[in-house]
Amino acid sequence: MDFDETYPTDPNICPPFPDAEYNVPPVKQALPSNPTLKLGYWELLSPTLLGTTGALYLSFFSDNNHLTKRCGGTLFKRAIVSYAIGASFAAYFAVTDVCSNSKTPHDNLFKPIGGALVSIILLFAAEYLLLYRSFPSSFKGDLGDNFWTQLVTFLYLSITIIPGASVGDIMPDNLTARALIGTEMAFYLFTMATAIQLILAQYN
């Protein structure tokens, strides 16, 4: 046999051997068919922070009737309540996710739970303010006669709702105001109850 011959490269002369042991098909990496989107703590709190900023901006740069003339009173009220409910759900999931993934002794929960509570207080204070400046008849009480006094007043209202009821010196006077206050109260009650249960479950 002459080893100086050139090895044939024509596939018709030397066909491939598909059944050979060394002919291993390429391995494709299996990818998940339905990848899940996992939102983090700050992503879940972003609706409350953005809502607070937007409500304060609209409250500061608009008079009492400017917004309602553009989008209509009923639609405007529904948008305020709907956004508050959606942001509250997002903050609720942020707190429960942190608590469910926490390990004993749970000394790292103060900041995330406190951050969620502060963000909700600011959100509802800003929404109360926006509702009042758009519909002055929404609340009864001594609310102040300028933007900053009213902002402090509604911060006070939002904080006093945490125990389960306000002091009573500021009262809602329409359905939208009552819906906002009820949503804030429900957030505190359900979030705290769920957080306590998740923390207690870590000890069992």
> In whole angstroms, what is the distance from residue 155 CA to residue 122 CA?
7
Mean pLDDT of the chain: 80
The pLDDT assigned to 74 comes to: 85
Q: What is the DSSP letter of 143?
A: -
Residue 119 pLDDT grade (very low, low, confident, very high; cuts 50, 70, 90): very high
Residue 201 pLDDT grade (very low, low, confident, very high; cuts 50, 70, 90): low
Residue 36: both structure tokens together: 């899940």
pLDDT in tens, 18-62: 555 555 555 555 555 555 557 788 899 999 999 999 999 999 887
Mean pLDDT of 1-25: 54
* Alpha-carbon dihedral sign for residues 167, 169, 171, 177: negative
Whole-prediction pTM:
0.76
Between the CA of residue 22 and those of 13, 18, 19, 62, what are the distances in Å?
A: 20, 9, 9, 76
Residue 1, pLDDT > 70, answer no
The pLDDT assigned to 99 comes to: 79
The count of other CB atoms within 10 Å of the CB of residue 112 is 19
Rg (CA), the chain: 30
Closest CA to 189 of 166, 154, 162, 160: 162
Closest CA to 129 of 115, 146, 112: 146
pLDDT in tens, 169-199: 889 999 999 999 999 999 988 888 777 777 6
Start-to-end CA span in the chain (Å): 80
Residue 87: both structure tokens together: 């942001």
The pLDDT assigned to 194 comes to: 79
Residue 107: both structure tokens together: 């000394």
% of the chain exceeding 70 in pLDDT: 68
Residue 37: both structure tokens together: 């989107």
pLDDT in tens, 70-93: 666 888 899 999 999 999 999 999
The pLDDT assigned to 12 comes to: 57
